[in-house]
Amino acid sequence: MVDRHFPSWFARAQERAGAALKAVSSAIPNDVRAALGWLAEPVAAVALVFTATTAIAQPFYVPSGSMQPTLAIGDLLIANKWTYGYTRFSIPFVTGETPEHRLFEHMPQVGDVAVFHVGDRPSALVKRVIGLPGDRIQMKQGRLWINDRQLPLQAVGSGRDEDGPGETAPGTYFKVAEFIETLPNGVRHPVFKKYRDAPLDDTSVYVVPPGHVFMMGDNRDDSMDSRVGVDEGGVGYVPIGDLIGRASVIVASVDFANARGVWEWPFRLRISRTLNVVR
């Protein structure tokens, strides 16, 4: 669905920009204005780059292991902002409440790996979209149920789970069970399972409210996601207006946790992860 009406926050941004430009223009003397004309081309180039990195796509760094094995600690990914449309988080210097609708709005799909904000937290987060408005989500004995249906889970052996900053052994890799989970729309993705009887293995039923999505990390026992409320350190139900974009590609990856300093980062590049598509 595409919202054909510009949201109020976008209209406010246009008004503020127009007023600011008019005020600045009237205050500039003619000779200074002529000199600025010579700078039009380089300024336009800078503006184009700025627009591309803020309204089309934006890089984000992954500092934790909640999305392992899909995303590794130290991945640098690109999020496409046009996938879901635009909100105040997509355009710089626009503040205010989370909007009910987005500009050129498109609903996320179950299985998307999305970047989003949570309340007033300064850093963006990245997790997988598991539920849409009206969906019923529950964990039973470590298995995910959506709309009263247990999702297929295929064991594929083991994977390497890395402890991140703030964990018991930063930079240390541990062998954990790996599975392939199939979502109701057919999307298949890997999950890590570190423990038996983990705290979030059994939950009540979550009913996703209108205008929100339910997010979960692929590293199921190491993710404070929509299964945990915001006041308890999780993300709760995420308003669709808080989505920034869909993670699309990993442009680089550095195992910084095992580097003794920045000078070692070039030797800790994970070449095998470069330009991997995020699925």
Q: Which of 64, 81, 90, 127 is catalytic?
A: 127
Q: How far apart are CA 3 and CA 21, in angstroms?
A: 28
pTM for this model (two decimals): 0.78
* Spatial contact of 128 and 112, defined as CB atoms under 8 Å apart: yes
Look up the CATH number of domain 8-277: 2.10.109.10
What are the residue boundaries of the structural domains of the chain, listed by start? 8-277
Instruction: Give the pLDDT score at 5.
Output: 46
Q: Which of the pair, 218 or 9, is modelled with greater confidence?
A: 218
Q: Which of 64, 66, 223, 253 is catalytic?
A: 66
**Better-scored residue on pLDDT, 214 or 40:** 214
Active-site residue, 127 included: yes
Q: How many CA atoms lie within 13 A of 179 on its CB side?
A: 19
Tell me the percentage of the chain whose pLDDT exceeds 90: 57
What separation in angstroms does the CA of 264 have from each of 118, 260, 268? 33, 7, 6
217-258: pLDDT as tens digits: 999 999 999 999 999 999 999 999 889 899 999 999 999 888
- 204 as an active site residue: the answer is no
For 67-95, how does the pLDDT look when each residue is reduced to its tens digit (9 = 90+)? 999 999 999 999 998 888 777 665 555 55
- The pLDDT-based confidence of 41 (bands split at 50, 70, 90) is low
